Structure 1
Amino acid sequence: MSELNAHSMTTSSGSSVLSRDVASSEPFKLQVHELGCSRPPCEDERALTMEVLGICNPLPDPDPELESILKITNSIFGTPTATITLLKGGSGGEDPHDVVYVKDGDGCARGDYPWRWAFCTWITQTGPTPKTLVVPDAEKDARFSDNPHVVGENPWIKAYAGAPLVASNGHRLGTLCVCDNKARDFDAGQCAILNNLSEMVVRHLEKEQLLKIKQSDNEALKFAYKRIERALDCFENCVVLLDTSVPGFKIVYANEAWDTLIGLARDKITGHTLTEVFEDSMGLELPSAKHRLAADAGQDFAVVRAVVKGSSLQKLMYLKFRPASSEQLDEGAIPIGVPRHMTVTKQTDAKHLYFMAVHDLAAHRSASSTSSTRRSSRMTSASFGLQRDEENEVEGLIVGRLIGRGSYGSVYSGDWFGSSVAVKVIENPVGRRISQAVGLEVSMSTDLRHPHIVATLKSWTRVLDSNMRPLNSKKSSGIDVDNLLTIRPLKKGCEDNSPTAAQSEAQPASTVDHLSQPPPTSSDFGKFSSNQACDMFDAAAGSLQAANQEDPAWPVISMSNLATCDTSSWLDHQEVQDVSVSGHVVQLPGSVPQQYDSQSLSTPLDAFHQGPLGESGCIQTWMIMEFCDRGCLQDALDRGWLLDHCSCVTGRPRMEAVMGLAFQISSALQYLHSENVMHGDLSAWNILLTSVGAGSNSCGVNFMAKVADFGLARDITDKIQTQTYGTITHQPPETLLTGTVSKAVDVYAFGVLMWQLYTGSQPWRGFTHAQIMLKVTSGNDRLRFPLCTPIEYEDLALACMAFNAEDRPTFDVICEILKNMQV
């Protein structure tokens, strides 16, 4: 085994130097091939959730409900194996007896399997918000290429797709996954179907135990598992899976709620058609010709008054139809993203599958009348308000599938005049501080133009009322919202403080160059000041306050207040102090370290679930951005894209690719700092990759890096102090100790990125946030490179990660050194 892949090595000073996976000698000693995926930092709370639910206890017999879902899943995907795998609480791969538990399987036996070889454990590392894990060819993925299930004596996994089982308190319990014994592709529609089926699995797993918790007086259990009111609401929903390619719409599956609502056993109607079970209240046949056309077009549709054929009760039913490949099973489901490179959906073989929600009509009308005043606590604030029939404020824009969602907002794929784009939607309640924060992000990302910075092509705002409907002059008590709907860059030479100029110099959407061309230079775009953006947001805030006559408080999340991973309880009573720009909040100076719910150690700390918005509605900001089709740098590193061959055991870094990407990122930061802009949250999650042609392949790979996410960016010329900052694994000592930020923060984060580019690992993997803070701020430990690292590269990275900010080089120096190293 090479020096790079040795389990542990020793320098002349005797300090431990670790290989690809780890940064320090304790408590994490071996690498991914030996241990498998590390546990998330919120493992204690996640394990408590598993214990409270009691779902890992072996059952004498398989669960018929889960078996039905698994058989349907295999049928839909045409795979030989589907499993429901639960991630048992434990220490991770350090314990050789650590296992995952296959609760039910179709094509796979139930029981315990070693943690270290399980694909499903990586569902905790897919990013700050839940996302489908897709492995089209396991032999080409460094995480799995040496796995005995892939290359052993009896290999049976060549392709894998797993949807996270997300509990009502946000923890990831395990996966619903499919495995194939040959490499294959999955498309975004199939991922969405798998996500929706995983939601049905979670509801079944949670139902019995949450009913017991709600009825009990055990406050400890209630505290450990919050939000049960939302979860219990979902259990009453009757969901039916239909195959619309069969005349009359064949009923493939119905959940347990069918028996209670309809009073007819499920096994009596499974395999029959909708036509045989339901009819219109006027006696007309269902589905009608109009319904069949809507299903062929993949549209949502509904039947307002339906009755069960042959029933003496003649209870009126409301039937709502939604494609099974929709982003969410229903309004109460936790949204789960799909990988960025899969967002352009192919024609899926399962496009004919539909979910039908069945409601008692009277109960549905009663619930609809009160739903506008009660938001589901299982949903984040970022999930509100995107109404597909009202989204097209911009000509030519078609919004596609969800890519990711968190307290920072929601990001969707999109199409703008035939070009692929990303659409970021940020929703915030009224308040000057949060308005300024969003205004800064919009103005900076719109104004900054560089080949290695994700371009913002257009941005605008709209005001939503308490029912999350856009306000307009007809519905908002005389409020003029027209001037609030578009933030437009000024042409060069216009005064920054001139609102009339800002409104008169709009660039028509049709004049934007095709997005496959290189981003225009700064000389092609006018300057747009952050003050102007903030003023426009404040104007919007004033309009919304006038409409609703209240100014709700905006909560601050402080680490000193954290007791568990869940945040919903604090957000109702926190005082207004300060807010993070995009939800990236870490421990404040002087507070006591606590563990909480971040899905990955180097994940941006914006995975908090926020409580419902107030009665006053919100301001919604839309940004059309350049689309990066290869995902983020962290995913590329995990998959081994920068290794000379795809193996976490024997693969070595390709220095041409490592150096090339490092230079691209540093050149973007050099430009930002020349404009006195500090990024503030530079990490592998916020570096996106986009494909390039063969002629542009300058560093041995077919993609290039672009810096993204300016939610924490600041206009800065000197150091300042703050209570909000970004990814804890990439923060320097002065920020963690005193809240001091400056341009040197980006330099330190770039040093961490250099370590990641070479080692292919996440920094401080397997450590809690408290352990990371102690190691970084003590000055006694730091990220270490393998012995075979080129000395010039290592020296530069260590200089960037110097303990004192004054000792770190500028990006002018960094770019010069990297350029000379490339030569």
Structure 2
Amino acid sequence: MGCYHSKEPVTARRGRAEAAASPAPPPPPIGQATEPGAPFRPDLSGPPLPPCDQQRAEIAEALLLLDPPTPAFESLLDLAAGILGCKAALIALFGDKRIWIKHAKNFEPGDFPWRQSFCAWTCSYPTPQPLVVFDAHSDARFKSNPAVTSGMVGFYAGTPLIAPNGHRLGTLCCADPSPRVIDESQCLVLANFADMVVAELLRSAEVAGQRRDQAARAADAAALAKALGVAAGAAPRAPAGRTLVVDAGGGGLAVVHASAACCELFEKGEPDSPLIGRPLWSLFDPSGAPGRDAARRSELAASARVAMAEGHSFLVRGVTLSASPGDAYDLTFRPVAVRDPTTAPALALPTFVPAAGAGAAHGAASYYFVSIDKSTWLRKGLGGSGRGPASGAALTPALGTGTPPEGQGGVRRKSGASSATNASERRSGFLELGRRRAPIEGLELGPQIACGSYGRVFKGAYFGARVAVKVLESTTSAWRDPETGASLEAALSHGVSHPLILQTLAWATVRGEDALPLPDAGQMVGTVLGPGGGDDASFTTAGSDSTRNSGPSGCGDSSSCGEGLFQTWIVMEYADAGCLQDAIDRGYFATDPTAAIITAREIAAAMAHLHRGGVVHADLSAWNVLLAGSEATALDSRGFSARVADFGLARAVGPAAGELTASYGTLSHAAPEALEHGLVSRAGDVYSFGVLLWQMLFCSRPWAGMSHAAIVKAVVQDRRGLIFPSPPPGGEPEPLAMLAEACLARAPAARPTFEELVAALSPLNDAIESASHTAGIAACTA
């Protein structure tokens, strides 16, 4: 069928198992393949273990040593289940290949096996992101799961519980017997609630440690500090504090959940008085003394209702507790579907999850977070003592708008405005908010959908069209023009035009104060960026001034974008069907093997175009091949087409064999010469393409469940390769397997070129088209 045969004998490296009568093999190890390089069977092994599994287990062990008391999460689970429209919700913590369901609604708490877990799949992504399964019955990972076959679970959504150092401790999840589709705002609500769970768990662990004897307390604190990567004696950094969740759908703003710290605060004045169900404004007095100014209380409540109806985040400053006047507090209001990057860990969103629809029936817009902090307004603004507001509370916007949620931009005081305005100005209501100008004309930025060591990716709109926007930091991009600050990725991707390469529509370099603040720079990045025009207004940050490092898989940096540091903004085509890894994990190519041939030809054609232009990708992986939705046709029923993306490690090379580099891409897809000698080349890209073919053939992750060090040892020291068992499951066409083996030849010179691969794949693609055409004629004449 025109298949390319490797220049190296296939039998020299096939590694196929001979069919012979033998006893039934033992079950594979938990979270790993039967041997290094073998196809991974999630239906037998469960979710793959993350590369950092040992460090993750140390954190879990440290937390379990403290045996913290159980925080009250019932109201939070009720809220999560209601907003996602699910019958069940639970909190699960990960141990060493075991899972403990600690709190649950309509689910049995207790020990749960890793092999049958949905939750542990949240550890399988390179960066933290929710696991969303619209229909578990059609997902290869879960369709044989006892919870699915019994009818208990048809839909699942879980978001990781992220420790301060970025490791994933467990999940907050919701499940329902009926399949369903949820939107972005529901994912964000679940993620925000997960942050509250982490804060409560760490706080409980700290409280429990204080109750132990001194020696045990010191040992436990040291173990926890080591696991979390903080100095001994330092408090774990988490989005903790006094936080309420209120129902904005009713006039009284009833409290529906309260953190433990909130309960302690109010118990000082009203012991044994529950907070759940209490109207918010019955807890606070805006005038400095109980009952002194009922009209002011009504005015403030009315202003807050207006702000909430429009989806704003805002700040109420200088209130006191109704039952215990004294210290003044600031209240920060934020919709539960808006993420606060000043405290929240880095989190990606699956691109196949639809955007939040206007007037969504799930009611997420009805709920608000209310964070309670000691007031610094009076001390800093009016020179007061900070005890009791001199002129009553004031309401100030914290963010420009809540639509779309989590738009990006600094929130600062308008240029020229004094930080110490007089009391009448503070009592007048909203300060005017400007829209920060985007560095690219026609661009508006939406929620963050990805984050990694390179920078951040956001959803956006470019002259009304849906796009993705990548923001690269100068500290994370090694190849830049020293004069303009332009990254090589921007220049290369913008200069490449091909229908199967993710298109770059525009790019710009930004420096200094015009750059987007880093998440841990102590600034809120929540206003919407507008398309050009107007004054570049600035506002002071409202709310917490805490900072956070996003951990090993996040994008936090200890420095802000000061003068001399560059950012590159790249506006790209938006791929709305996820990535190739998503399709492989769901077992898509097992149910439609011809889709693997069509997809492989698309990727090969895109790579051939790159190589003809003298560009080596150097990081071709299933995570970096995106899928753009398209209409299904008689010849192509996939409903998507492939796009080669992410040129962060790409470089222009001459006709030589390659070049040496100290940087490498995805380890599981890297060629042996790249891992051993740092050599990247066209042949290295071909090897990575062979890994993709192997993945589509066996619906598997390469080197699943192995640490990075173990992968390097297997490939470099043990000279192992990916294993092709015989016969391949699902009846995949043999020529595609032979192509994969040819691409995976250990010697770079023995691998085909992408031009040869396109030529070999074209007859297979033509055969599919011919068969489809014949079937169509037969159907018409029948």
Does TM, normalized by the shorter one, top 0.5?
yes
Answer yes or no: is 1:248 the counterpart of 2:252: yes
- Tell which deviates more after alignment, 179-188 or 299-308: 299-308
Letter in structure 2 aligned against 1:357: S
**d(CA) in 1 for partners of 2:182 and 2:103?**
23
1:335 corresponds to which residue? 346
Report the AA paired with residue 676 of structure 1.
G
Q: Which 4+ runs in 1 deviate beyond 6 A?
A: 12-16, 21-24, 27-30, 363-367, 466-470
For the residue of structure 1 that corresponds to 2:365, the secondary structure is coil
Which region of structure 1 is more displaced relative to structure 2, 390-399 or 217-226? 217-226
Looking at structure 2, the residues matched to 458 and 663 of structure 1 have their Cα atoms a distance apart, in angstroms, of 28
- TM alignment of 1:365-376, pairs within 5 A: none
Matches within 5 A, 1:334-733: 334-342=345-353, 344-346=355-357, 347=360, 348-362=362-376, 386-387=409-410, 389-390=435-436, 392-429=438-475, 439-465=487-513, 607=553, 611-613=557-559, 616=562, 618-644=565-591, 654-695=592-633, 698-717=635-654, 718=656, 719-733=658-672
Matched to 2:472, the amino acid is I
CA contact (8 A) 1:303 1:319 kept: yes
Bigger-Rg structure (1/2): 2
Does the aligned pair in 1 maintain the 2:225–2:236 contact within 8 Å? no
State the match for 2:139 in structure 1. 141
Give per-residue Cα distances to partners, 1:683-708, cap 9 Å, x unaligned: 0000000111235x643311000011
**CA offset at residue 784 of structure 1?**
2.3
The 3 A distance-change label for structure 1 pair 220 and 36 is closer
Go from structure 1 to structure 2 and tell me whether the alpha carbon gap of 1:160 and 1:364 turns closer, same or farther (over 3 Å shift).
Answer: farther
Mean alpha-carbon deviation: is it higher for 345-354 or for 718-727? 345-354
Which residue of 806, 813, 821 corresponds with 2:749?
A: 806
Q: How does 1:769-784 map to 2 (within 5 A)?
A: 769-778=708-717, 780-784=719-723
Identify if the C-alpha distance between structure 1 residues 814 and 29 changes in structure 2 by more than 3 Å, giving closer, same or farther.
Answer: closer
Which residue, 76, 88, 96 being the options, matches 2:95? Answer: 88
Unaligned runs of 5+ in 2: 1-14, 384-405, 412-434, 519-528, 534-548, 767-782
The amino acid that maps onto 2:664 is: Y
CA displacement, residues 733-759 of structure 1 (integer Å, 9 cap, x when unaligned): 111111111111111100101101111
Q: Which residue of 2 aligns with 1:216?
A: 218
Query: How far does the alpha carbon of each residue in 1:398-419 deviate from its partner, in whole angstroms, 9 at most, with x for none?
Result: 2222211122111111122221
- 1:34 matches 2:44: yes
Residue deviations 1:509-566 (CA, integer Å, cap 9, x gap): 99xxxxxxxxxxxxxxxxxxxxxxxxxxxxxxxxxxxxxxxxxxxxxxxxxxxxxxx9
Q: Does 1:316 align with 2:325?
A: no
Q: Is the 8 A contact 2:284 2:322 kept in 1?
A: yes
Query: Are 1:24 and 1:764, in contact at CA under 8 Å, matched by a contact in 2?
Result: no
1:743 maps to 2:682 = yes
Amino acid at match of 2:255: I
Q: CA deviation at 1:319?
A: 1.2
Select which of 148, 151, 154 maps to 1:150: 148
Cα shift at 1:81: 1.2
**Residue 77 of structure 2 aligns with which residue?**
70
The verdict on how the C-alpha distance between 1:683 and 1:86 changes in structure 2, with shifts beyond 3 A counting, is same
- Asked whether the equivalents of residues 327 and 336 of structure 1 are also in contact (C-alpha less than 8 Å), the reply is no
In the alignment, is residue 792 of structure 1 matched against residue 735 of structure 2? yes
**Contact 1:466–1:614 (8 Å) recurs in 2:** no
1:637–1:366 CA distance, 2 compared to 1 (3 A): farther
- Given residue 375 of structure 2, which amino acid in structure 1 is its aligned partner? L
How far apart are residue 768 of structure 1 and its match? 2.3
Aligned twin of 1:10: 17
Residue 757 of structure 1 aligns to which amino acid in structure 2? Answer: M
Give the C-alpha shift of residue 431 in structure 1. 9.6
Conserved 8 A contact 1:165-1:172: yes
**Counterpart position of 1:292:** 305
Deviation readout 1:410-431 (Å, 9 max, x if unpaired): 1111122221111111223499
Q: Normalising to structure 1: TM-score of the pair?
A: 0.72
Give unpaired runs (5+ residues) of structure 1: 1-7, 91-98, 370-382, 471-484, 486-507, 511-565, 569-596, 598-606, 645-653
Structure-2-length-normalised TM-score: 0.76
User: Once the 2 structures are TM-superposed, how far is the Cα of residue 626 of structure 1 from its aligned partner?
Assistant: 0.5
Q: Name the residue aligned to 1:110.
A: 109
Paired with 1:467 and 1:628, the residues of 2 have a C-alpha distance of 25
SS in 2 for 1:342: coil
Whole-angstrom distance in 1 between the partners of 2:235 and 2:764: 56
Task: Report the 3-state secondary structure (helix = DSSP H, G, I; strand = E; otherwise coil) of the residue aligned with 1:205.
Answer: helix
Is the CA contact (8 Å cut-off) linking 1:52 and 1:225 kept in structure 2?
no
Measured in 2, the distance between the counterparts of 1:197 and 1:55 equals: 25
Q: Please give the alpha-carbon distance, in whole angstroms, between the structure 1 residues aligned to 2:237 and 2:663.
A: 35
Answer yes or no: is the 8 Å Cα contact 1:56–1:103 preserved in 2. no
Q: 1:319 to 1:82 in 2, by over 3 A?
A: same
Q: In 2, distance between residues paired with 1:469 and 1:790?
A: 50
Cα distance, 1:567–1:420 mapped onto 2, change above 3 Å: closer
Q: Is the 8 A contact 1:168 1:231 kept in 2?
A: no
Structure 1: distance between partners of 2:229 and 2:171: 21
Q: Does the 8 Å contact 2:579/2:627 carry over to 1? A: yes
SS of 1:65's partner is coil
Conserved? CA contact 1:404–1:410, under 8 Å: yes
**1:783 is paired with a residue of what secondary structure?**
coil
- The equivalent position to 1:304 in structure 2, one of 310, 314, 317, is 317
Query: Aligned partners of 1:670, 1:615: CA distance in 2, in Å?
Result: 38
Task: Using the TM superposition, name which of 164-173 and 70-79 deviates more.
Answer: 70-79
Q: Is the 8 A contact 1:466 1:616 kept in 2?
A: no
Contact 1:56 1:88 in 2 (8 A): no
* Aligned position for 2:538: none
**SS of aligned partner of 2:588:** coil
Cα distance change, pair 365–631 in 1 and its aligned pair in 2 (3 A): farther
Q: Contact 1:23 / 1:782 at 8 angstroms: preserved in 2?
A: no
Cα deviation for residue 88 of structure 1 reads 1.3
Q: 1:33 to 1:269 in 2, by over 3 A?
A: closer
Query: What is the deviation of 1:301?
Result: 1.3
Q: Structure 2 vs 1, CA of residues 364 and 748 (structure 1 numbering), >3 Å: closer, same or farther?
A: farther
Distance 2:627 2:671 in 1: 25
Number of residue pairs matched by the alignment? 647
CA change 1:721–1:806 in 2 (3 A) is: same
Alpha-carbon distance between aligned partners in 2 of 1:234 and 1:339, rounded to the nearest angstrom? 24
CA contact (8 A) 1:22 1:28 kept: no
Structure 1 residues 320 and 85, CA gap change in structure 2 (3 angstroms): same
Could you say which residue in structure 2 is the equivalent of 1:159?
155
